[in-house]
Structure 1
Amino acid sequence: MNTRFPPSRLVRWLRRSLACAVLSGGLAQAAGPQPVLLGIDGEFGLDNSTSAQAVELGMRTAIAEINAAGGVLGGRPLELVTKDHRSIPARGIRNIQEFARMPGLVAVFGGRFSPVIIEELPTLKSTRILFMAPWSSADAIVDNDMRPNYVYRLSLRDSLAMPRLLQAAHRRRLDRVGLLLTNTSWGRSNAEAAERAVPAIHGMTIAGTSWYNWRDSSLVGKYQQLRAAGAQAIVLVANDDEAAVLVREVAALPKEQRLPILSHWGVTGGEFAKLAGPALQQVDFSVIQTFSFWKADPARVRRFLASAAKVSPVRRIEDIQGPVGVAHAYDLTHILALAIDRAGSTDRRLVRDALEHLPAWRGLVKNYAPPFTPARHEALGPGELLMARYRDDGVLVPAQE
């Protein structure tokens, strides 16, 4: 059977193919320059979590500003690609592999959960994909022994967080603290940071350490063990679900058994205030932060809110959930765009190098002088740390210390 096209059919087919090619080329030109892709690997599908959405809001707001100003590399727009790992490391590893194969994708922004990112580190190392950390705090994420290191963080670090939490307790003369920690790499990171920090704080001691597992339905037993060991305050490392369980249980105790709780910031990445309910106002609960829209430069906050209103329902500071994730991702996206332009390319290796040699830049969170250096892949330091509390309406505001 002859499968060749008859001459007349072949000519018609070639003409149609040529017309389609010309049309496709015209459409591509009409569509504008090829976008530069940025990814998010976050916990979008996790119940009650708002952290990945916070990172996305910060990035989309910055991207809107950057694109309105002409994009990067002489006119190429930034475009966002999101993937959901649901806090499951295997999903995160698969996401990183898929991102690494995407042409035109420069970098991936991570979500809240340090244990997921720590499991992803070997894949990040093998693929040499540029990874930006706007929320996760475990020291090992940046201290990862990669040479060269493709991970950059604009976020809290456990070795900064734990000393600040202990100092906040010390200022209140609560010098015997109990550590209530999640049994994960994030919890262990904080346990190590606490052990290193205590000797530098005169009179501070750790009365005891208790570990709980993710999704535990009760934490009051471990809390009471720490109280019985002489703890005057609890330093808590938890996410929103478990922290809400603890707050409800502590609020149900007699007042004389309710110890102050000083919390790491994982609680702010979800519906913690809603889950805790009225019990939150019956417990002395404070949480560490690196940034507050309430204390930031008013002109920069107004600019952010105006830009956020173009890509989201946000109109007021009170509308912002997970404020640190939003602000960090916003600044980190702007910084990355500066590095792409400095590199003159989307080549991840060149952009990585450019991140280490940026000039000083004034952002929403702080003035970066500069954001990163070859020896420092951490953009924030102890000067940004503050304690915050939840108002009656669930809004997080700076605390009086």
Structure 2
Amino acid sequence: MGKYGDLYAKILEARSVLKGIKHVTRLDHTSTFSHITGGDIYLKLENLQKTGSFKVRGAAFAMSQLSEKEREAGVIAASAGNHAQGVAYAASRLGIKSTIVMPRFSPVAKIQATEGYGAEVILHGDVFDDALAFAQETAKKTGAIFLHPFNNENVIAGQGTIGLEILDDCPDVEVVAVPIGGGGLVSGIAIAIKEQKPDVQIYGVEAASAASMQASIETGRVVSVENLDTVCDGIAVKSPGPLTYGIAKDLLSGVVTVEELEVTRTLFMLLERAKIVVEPAGCVGLAAFQHGRIDVKGKIAVAVLSGGNIDMSFLTRVVEKELFRLGRSVRVRGSILDRVGSMNRVLGIVAESGVSVIELNQDRSDPDILPNRAELEMILEVPDQEALEKMLDLLHNAGLDFSVYED
């Protein structure tokens, strides 16, 4: 065994301990992303794990190692959402009282799910690191056992069971991309895979605006980044832990970043083409493949989809914005005579063109519009560009001047 042989032994132990507590999630081949990247791409579906993310693995194994006295004291943890649910679920399975500190702006779905698993939730601070400091302070005051979300050997060992499963299902894997927040997931997976197949390339992937692991490795020590403005709330961590930083520095082939719009475009494509729902943080690894941050052409590659706990209102906004970006939803504006039948005339032409109306607004208040006219704004769903052009031509030929406009 190598430098991390003791941790690898813990990963093997965790695999046995976690039987019946967590799912062995599927490793699915994706022809869509294989075609886009030129690689042979597989997806490790931890979004289908119990509690909706990989976090239950580390939380459950770490709590299984507590003494009876420690269990009686209860556990406290800090989380942006997924570690919270993992701890709450595992604690309820083991009969342990759990308290979770979450940032104030955590997604409502994650807060409610955590409470649903039986934990007491305390909202504190704006980002994960604020919640972390408060949880550690509370643990000292109350005597509860603080369960770190990533800088903990037992947590890392639990997450590392994913690496064992990847090798079971895809022994010829050449590249693995793993989301990085604090680094517990990528540390465990890297140890599990590198102990068996040292030539496999393991990459960590961060949101560009929350790239604390990349900054730490480039600097040569653990550093913090500020202003974590990212849609990837699950990996918005100011700094990695000393333990995870050391493992990442030793074992990773690199840490890359992806931009916000790259993440949401990958999320949308997963939903539409693969029928897979993931949260933004959960698909950064696949986004790195799709947008060329990691070269997988001609290689067998695995992207770990680390979680699927996404707020439904946010998912709706992602879908809406992508439909507009792709030109499948458009905004059209024009003026009509303000009299009976004018709107019906427009809508008849729209229907004749095979275009659907999603939203329609009529405005008579604009001072630049003549008193006998009204402005009509429509949001339309169009099957293709040809149908849109046909509709605009028909409207123009009918004396109705409408055009596409942007917000």
The TM-score normalised by the length of structure 1 is: 0.30
